[in-house]
Amino acid sequence: MTMRATTAMPSVATAARAQVQVSLRAVDKEFNRTGRGGEAIHALGPIDLELRQGEFFAVVGPSGCGKSTLLELVAGLSTATRGEVAFEGRPIKGRIPDGVGVVFQEDASFPWLSVRDNIAFGLRRMKIDPRERERRIDSALAMMGLTAFAQSYPAQLSGGMRQRVCIARTLVTEPRLILLDEPFGALDQQTRLLMGDEVLNLWRKTGATVFLITHALDEAAMLADRIGVMSARPGRLIDIIETGWSRDRDSRIVQEEAFGAITARLWRSLRSESLKSIGKPEAGP
Amino acid sequence: MTQAGGGILKRAALWRIALLVVAVGGLELLCLTGRIDRLTMQPPHRILVDMVALLAGGQLNTAIAKTLGNAALAFVIAMVVGVTVAVVLHYFRSLRHTLDPLFATYYAIPMFAFYPLLIVLFGLGDTPQIFIGAMLAVVAVIVNTLNGLDRIPRVLLKTARVNQLSAWETATQVMLPCATPYILTGAKLAVAYSLIGIIGAEFIMSTGGMGYEISFAYTNFDNAKMYPLILLILAVSIAINTLLARWEKVLMARRGLS
Ligand SMILES: Nc1ncnc2c1ncn2[C@@H]1O[C@H](COP(=O)(O)OP(=O)(O)OP(=O)(O)O)[C@@H](O)[C@H]1O
Ligand SMILES: [Mg+2]
């Protein structure tokens, strides 16, 4: 398999440019500081961004720059202070739209439910045939490598496995937009690469749009069609990189020359922002 | 549960039994040697024999059924009202801040002093007693349920929202299941409080029930009746509490928190 990451090479995502699924226009988010009166925290923005139907979009940025805040705006879990967020042409105003699945940064498995029941929870509100329901659960279990643990409880699993339970719970609803907030944070590097392959697989199979937040530059470089680079807080998009990978890529592209080039470019954009976020603005040349 | 954890629990149970044996044995000895005279207290083995005889005789069955039935009713009311009030207070923060100091001082209120007033309000039947039992138990349920609700990770509530659960579904399918171990702690206290409430009320003024029988036996120096009844109450509350504790342990183990 040969691939070359040049921006000239048309990927599937760029071919489908016409279909915009999510759009953010001049979006800002401020948080009111409780306790101390007045002065709000400007967490994010202004941000302008369009996610195309079916693309794999990754976001990287320094810690605390507002990545999770951005995800919650798109999910409809919080409302923008200024600007507008729209999903499939309809503005989201703090109402959760249908067809959106979210996997959070923290462990969100329900400790009182077995793995199987956790996954079935995603289907609670859906009126589907019981046989179809079982089929979806079984296939999500298999895809996330949890079949042998279906009857276990989350406390009996590792952190990474619990995160996979949450991914499976989202998958069964067959969302058109999947929002992933650092889902592999608890995984070791090897498992992370393999889980990356699984996410690519499900992205190809479902045709869903994937919006992935990560702090691992190589993960973004390996998985995404486009990578948005965010500045230190208040987070703005300072660069958007097209990787140009073909749709049937997998973790082996980490060996490609172009992969190194993309990671290097990401780090160039991010280095000074990351320094700012830990309170050490760039000195010297 | 780890083996070490199980070992510690087993050892605690052994110690508990040993302590009980020493205490009861000591009491037995004091009674048999006449240090405690028969008019003050019967030796423990005698109490047990009397209790079996009392239960077999059946003359107190109506009293026992009345007290346990009313206590069960008070318990159920306290659980339903307590959990509901806790969920509502959890939603309305300002109301909760208003009531919080009241909960903290609640058990300093001599509830039984209101008994005459309650009789005026509810009449001479069982209602005032059940009311007192439920009132005594309800705040333990509210406080413990609130404690559990406060500890629900925010991300679970976000998950409920993403899954488009209604407020009712969020309460019944996420919040309460998550808080169950804490609700059970409240339930264990509520068992004791509702029993105390009912028996205490019967003790003060009533014409039936175990509390009345104890008080009657007390004024007549009828130790063959009084101590067995107290033992029976103790046995009932220990049995129910053990069951609830079992359940709690299963839930905690499932969450890796044994
Ligand atoms: N509910 C909130 N109330 C007040 N401030 C908040 C709230 N949520 C986030 N913030 C602030 O907004 C900023 C962005 O937070 P956010 O969680 O989006 O960062 P992040 O990029 O996801 O960080 P990380 O990489 O560590 O997950 C932070 O400075 C945080 O303190
Ligand atoms: Mg975050």
- For residue B177, give the chain A residue with the closest CA: A112
Q: What is the pLDDT along chain A (285 residues), one digit of tens a residue?
A: 444 444 444 444 444 445 888 888 888 888 887 655 667 888 787 889 889 988 999 999 888 888 999 999 999 898 888 888 888 888 887 678 888 999 998 889 999 999 999 999 988 877 888 898 999 999 889 988 899 999 999 999 988 889 889 999 998 988 999 999 988 876 777 878 888 888 888 888 888 999 999 888 888 888 889 999 898 878 888 888 888 887 888 877 788 788 888 888 888 888 877 777 777 666 544
**What is the full DSSP assignment across B35-50?**
SS-TTT---HHHHHHH
Per residue in B2-16, pLDDT (tens digit) is 455 567 778 888 898
Give me the residues paired with residue A210 across strands: A56, A178
CA distance B75 to B120: 23
Smallest CA–CA distance, residue B209 to chain A, in Å, is: 40
Per residue in A56-109, pLDDT (tens digit) is 999 998 888 889 999 999 998 988 888 888 888 888 876 788 889 999 988 899
Weakest-pLDDT range from A52-66, A80-94, B17-31, B78-92: A80-94
CA distance B159 to A173: 13
CA distance A129 to B7: 47
Residue with tokens 């298999």: A142
- Note whether B256 contacts A156, CB cutoff 8 Å: yes
Residue B1: which pLDDT band, with cuts at 50, 70 and 90?
Answer: very low
CB A65 within 8 A of CB A238: no
Residue nearest to ligand 1 atom 12, measured at CA: A43
- Which domains does chain A carry? 12-99+175-277 (3.40.50.300), 110-174 (no CATH)
Residue with tokens 């500890």: B151
CB A112 within 8 A of CB B251: yes
In CATH, which superfamily holds the domain spanning B56-254? MetI-like (1.10.3720.10)
Task: Ligand 1 pocket test: pick from A47, A63, A69, A70 the residue with the most ligand atoms within 8 Å of its Cβ.
Answer: A69
- Rounded to the nearest angstrom, the distance between the alpha carbon of A67 and the centre of ligand 2 is 5
**Domains in chain B: boundaries:** 56-254
Smallest CA–CA distance, residue A29 to chain B, in Å, is: 18
- Count of CB atoms situated within 10 Å of the CB of B203: 19
Q: How many CB pairs under 8 A join A and B?
A: 58
Share of chain B above pLDDT 90, in %: 36
Greatest distance between any 2 Cα atoms in chain A: 65
CB A28 within 8 A of CB A46: yes
- For residue B153, give the chain A residue with the closest CA: A108
Single-letter amino acid code for the residue at A193: L
